[in-house]
Amino acid sequence: MAVSCIWLMFFFSLFGHGVLELVEAFHHVYLNVHQTAQYSTSGNQPYRTSYHFQPPKNWMNDPNGPMLRLGIYHLFYQYNPKAAVWGSNVIWGHSTSTDLVNWTPHDPAIYPSQQSDINGCWSGSTTILPGGHPVILYTGIDTENRQVQNLAAPKNFSDPFLREWVKFKHNPLLTPNSKNKINATYFRDPSTAWLGCDGNWRVIIGSQKKERGLAILFKSNDFVHWEEAEKPLYSANKDTGMWECPDFYPVLIKSALGIDTSSNGPDVRYVLKVSFFRTPHDYYMIGTYNPDKDIFIPDNGPFKDSSLRYDYGKFYASKTFFDNKYPLHRRILWGWVNESSSAIDDIKKGWSGVQAIPRSIWLDKSGKQLVQWPIKEIETLRGTQIELPYQVLSGGSVLEVSGLTAAQADVVISFEISDFIKAEVLDPSWTNPQVICSRKDASVKGGLGPFGLLVLASEGLQEYTAVFYRIFKGHNKYVKYVVLMCSDQNRSSLNQDNDKTTYGAFVDVDPVQEKLSLRSLIDHSIVESFGAEGKACITARVYPTLAINDAEAHLYVFNNGTENIGITRLSAWSMKKAQIN
């Protein structure tokens, strides 16, 4: 088991008193215009989600400061109270939940009120201080439009919902200046802080210098006075552009259990995730953290285009937190899923942005990648269940799965391949899975595949989103077969204004030894898919015009390869509506 330093406990108890003094020094902000409005979007809304988190209206982006406190989960999020598009004036929306499924809205937690955040309250994180006191570090856009780092704490620790937050009087804590040579427009998104054995807190902040991304490290012994470390925790070796929303946390070797961000020990590896502003994707690396030198050493060298991603579709500005709600010990990942519709359409529908279903995240037993799976609690929404008996899906066939609400469903399917002879040989120059999926979309006949699901499909298949596999023969003796997972949005909508990019990922699984599974969470305009029990995830946003709502949306299984495929399991559930704000 991972251990925290013993004397750290002592520090915790000392610091516990300090927190109250800290709060005294906070300035109180009073709500007026920001009172929770009882608003809703109006008109025909076929794309609003039923169990994916979203506010009643307007723009939402990054998840901010997710945490658990006294049995209540908090989700803060970047929110534009004035429009369905992003604005630099974004604030922190706030909702709470006891199950991560049903959410109660609260007044915005943080909004411009000080010189240090008067032009916007951007992303940040919570850290639970000794004594269980949470504090928020967030980026404010100050009077000079500089990105600076601010501190806030709950006004009333006895309020279980922590509805009001007060800001530290002496904000900002950290500013870009000529001494530290940090560019004022590239200095944002403080991570959750972790406590080292030397009694100092550490936090990383996203930045770039000369086009190279970096996670700048700051240290503090009181959470108020922060000093930049000599070296960043990690920096790019080439032009990557700005790194946003860095996240740094420990994971256990050979265990799916999560551990606290400050835990360390011999059975622990570290994950550094950064959100590449340019692409925009969330990339991560697994590696070693040297707490003496305060540097991170990735196992596989610097970030590259082929680096691991949480999700190979739409998923950005993500953030994890440690959930130890009894009897759980898990790390949970939140991620923002942007629209694929035009800004004009977003303004028309009056909202933009959803959050992916929170995912448990842990280190795969290979130690080479992370695995993600939708939190167990989402299964409480499962209603009518459909089960198909084992059957063979012959090459070129399509099978309807009827009897469920296909626009709002959870589908799990497993495939068995008994003959690999017809698998095509993968051209060695085809190294980018997304490109292969675009060239060989669901309509391109293959040998072993494409086979998978057609979701949010219209009856005549004028519209569908295809989530599928293709299996290729590898081109060396070490890689016998290559498994490709695709999400093809080409025919997802008759509306041509949407971004219909095809997504793809290689899946590290041996299809000879294991059945190939696929799970898709379908929710009106989002399809979140998990390949091989969570080894590869692809999330897509789609806007069907025919396959809308439960009456018109259909679900099919298809096989467009020449080889027959066995379906060893198909379980599908209609999903009930969650209470979301």
The DSSP line for 302-343 is S--TTSEES-SSS-EEEEEEEE--TT--EEEEEEEE---S-H
The CB-of-522 to ligand DQQ minimum distance in angstroms stands at 25
- Six token digits for residue 296: 């991170």
State the alpha helices, DSSP H only, in 361-493: 433-439
The CB-of-520 to ligand DQQ minimum distance in angstroms stands at 25
* Count of residues that bind ligand DQQ according to CB under 6 A: 12
| Paired residues of 505 in beta bridges | 485
Cα 396 → chain centroid = 35
The CB-of-356 to ligand DQQ minimum distance in angstroms stands at 14
Q: Which of 62, 189, 311, 523 is catalytic?
A: 62
Cβ-based nearer residue to ligand DQQ, 259 or 317: 317
> Which amino acid appears at position 119 of this protein?
N
How many beta carbons lie within 10 A of that of residue 305, not counting itself?
9
> What DSSP character marks residue 456?
E
Contact of 453 with 413, CB cutoff 8 Å: yes
Per CB under 6 A, contacts with ligand DQQ among 122-161 are 122-123, 139
The CB-of-555 to ligand DQQ minimum distance in angstroms stands at 33
Cβ-based nearer residue to ligand DQQ, 78 or 352: 78
Active site residue 62: yes
Taking CB under 6 A as the rule, does residue 338 contact ligand DQQ?
no
Contact of 108 with 121, CB cutoff 8 Å: no
> Which amino acid appears at position 87 of this protein?
G
Cβ-based nearer residue to ligand DQQ, 246 or 531: 246
Instruction: Indicate the residue whose CB is closest to ligand DQQ.
Output: 122
The CB-of-124 to ligand DQQ minimum distance in angstroms stands at 8
Cβ-based nearer residue to ligand DQQ, 206 or 447: 206
The CB-of-92 to ligand DQQ minimum distance in angstroms stands at 10
- Six token digits for residue 508: 């590290």
Per CB under 6 A, contacts with ligand DQQ among 54-113 are 61-62, 78, 90
Taking CB under 6 A as the rule, does residue 317 contact ligand DQQ?
yes
Cβ-based nearer residue to ligand DQQ, 121 or 505: 121
Cβ-based nearer residue to ligand DQQ, 15 or 334: 334
Contact of 467 with 526, CB cutoff 8 Å: no
CA–CA gap between residue 239 and residue 221 (Å, rounded): 33
How many beta carbons lie within 10 A of that of residue 20, not counting itself?
12
CA–CA gap between residue 478 and residue 297 (Å, rounded): 27
Per CB under 6 A, contacts with ligand DQQ among 458-497 are none
Per CB under 6 A, contacts with ligand DQQ among 243-302 are 244-245
Cβ-based nearer residue to ligand DQQ, 191 or 408: 191
Contact of 426 with 452, CB cutoff 8 Å: no
Per CB under 6 A, contacts with ligand DQQ among 154-213 are 188-189
CA–CA gap between residue 487 and residue 465 (Å, rounded): 7
CA 132 vs CA 55, 362, 439: distances in Å = 28, 24, 52
How many beta carbons lie within 10 A of that of residue 429, not counting itself?
6
Antiparallel, parallel or unpaired: β 351-352 and 58-69:
parallel
The CB-of-61 to ligand DQQ minimum distance in angstroms stands at 5
Cβ-based nearer residue to ligand DQQ, 206 or 561: 206
The CB-of-188 to ligand DQQ minimum distance in angstroms stands at 5
Give the x-and-dash track for 226-245 against ligand DQQ (CB under 6 A): ------------------xx
Antiparallel, parallel or unpaired: β 424-425 and 465-476:
parallel
| Paired residues of 480 in beta bridges | none
Residues 6+ apart with CB under 8 A from 60: 54, 77, 78, 79, 80, 93, 336, 351, 352, 353, 354, 355
Q: Which residues are catalytic?
A: 62
* Residues contributing to the site for ligand DQQ (CB under 6 A): 61-62, 78, 90, 122-123, 139, 188-189, 244-245, 317
